[in-house]
Amino acid sequence: MAVQWIKRILLLAALAVMAGGFTWLMWPQPIQVDVAKAILGRMQLTVDEEGISRIREVYTVSAPVAGKVARSPREVGDHVVAGVTPVAAIRSADPTMLDARTRLELQAAIEAAKADVEFASAAALQAEKELRFADAELGRTRYLVGKKVMALNALEKRQLEADGARQRLESAKAQLDVRLHNLEMAQARLLEPASPGNAKPPDDCCISLTSPVNGIILRIPVENEQVIQAGTPLVEIGNPFDTEISVDLLSTDAIQVKPGASAVISGWGGTDDLNARVKRVEPAAFTKISALGIEEQRVKAILEITDPPAKWTGLGHEYRVFVHIAIWQSENALQIPLSALFRWEGNWAVFRVEGGLAKLTRITAGQINSSHVQVLSGLNAGETVIVHPSDLIADGVQIERRAAGKM
């Protein structure tokens, strides 16, 4: 009899254990969540865009005349002094080679010029003889008038003839000079690079060009000796301490950016971010094709670096940087992580933690940046919200904070 009671007691105990285990398994378990607190602090809304650094004033040294530029005596990165450091040297260009027909035409022009010179020489010689004869006649007439053999009007006539002969001689000499110069020009057109008359003396240097400003050489478009035309860019020079930042903003963002706005420059290669200020926003937009092939209206904004040059040493011309321009900021904004925010019935909402339960809470959101959202109403400072809420989270669900490092 005692054995039967013992079996019954053991059976009831086993059934109780099984019922308790089943109840424990079926009992709802708290859902582990990540949480964050609503805090009061500094919040900033920025326009983030990629930009480039550039030297504000780049001076281009160009060839003042056509000629042959010598190999550059400088290298990119060399420091130069205004008015002292030579950066390029140009020698006048040699005459071009002539084809057969052009050479024959120029030779014929030389022969024609020589004939003109001979004709002008003969005319000058004839004018000189006529002048000598007129002077002789004037002398004889002056003698006879003095002896009262001839009338005074005869002397005046001889004087007029002598003056005319002298003027004709001067005109003939001028014509001879013109013909001689024409001959020289015709002979000069026939000169070629191999012509002996075209050889330059060893000390015939060139036009030496010096740097217009103090700075460094940024680019040398023409490094090797070659023939160039007037106006060809030879050297680009700039002052590395006069660097600014150029960034192309979307036109919708550019409207919100005002001159004088603070900015931060990151990703430029240095260890610390740089402080900057918006100098100007250009009034005209331009069309730019994005990497996805979409036409975008962009507006160029120029920023000046406010940190001392010693902090951004090494930032060169046309380096890539990332710009963050502040368009709104508050020093005492109530904010929560953006990952806690979601849409519910057309409004913004979060799950607030209250007594180990998730409470669905509607809020009014203000400014939103890449990481936080400003809370205008619905939450108080210090309250805890769930970040990255999953589909298991609902109003009234029991929750517990996930231990640090546990996923």
* SS3 per residue for 174-232: HHHHHHHHHHHHHHHHCCCCCCHHHCCCCCCCCEEEECCCCEEEEECCCCCCEEECCCC
Copy the structure tokens of residue 402. Answer: 């996930």
Verdict on whether the full-model pTM lies above 0.85: no
| Tens digits of pLDDT across the chain (407 residues) | 566 666 667 677 666 667 666 555 555 678 888 999 999 999 999 999 999 999 999 999 999 888 888 888 899 989 999 989 999 988 876 667 777 888 888 888 888 888 888 888 888 888 888 888 888 887 888 877 777 777 778 777 878 888 888 888 888 888 888 888 888 888 887 776 654 444 454 445 578 899 999 999 999 999 888 888 888 999 999 999 999 999 999 999 999 999 999 999 999 988 899 999 999 999 999 999 988 889 999 999 999 999 999 999 889 899 999 999 999 989 999 999 999 999 998 899 999 998 889 999 999 999 998 899 999 999 999 999 999 998 888 888 888 888 654 43
Q: How far is the C-alpha of 20 from the C-alpha of 394, rounded, in Å?
A: 27
Query: Where does 31-41+332-401 sit in CATH, by number?
Result: 2.40.420.20
Q: How far is the C-alpha of 128 from the C-alpha of 359, rounded, in Å?
A: 125
The CATH class given to the 62-95+208-238 domain equals mainly beta
Copy the structure tokens of residue 185. Answer: 């020009």
Cα 138 to chain centroid, rounded: 81
Indicate the burial class of 386 (C-beta count within 10 angstroms; 0-12, 13-18, 19 or more): buried
Q: Domain map of the chain by residue range?
A: 31-41+332-401, 47-55+240-330, 62-95+208-238, 100-191
Query: Where does 47-55+240-330 sit in CATH, by number?
Result: 2.40.30.170
* Cβ partners under 8 Å of residue 288, min gap 6: 248, 295, 296, 297, 298
| Long-range pairs, 186-189, Cβ under 8 A, ≥24 | 186/106, 186/109, 186/110, 186/112, 186/113, 187/110, 189/106, 189/109
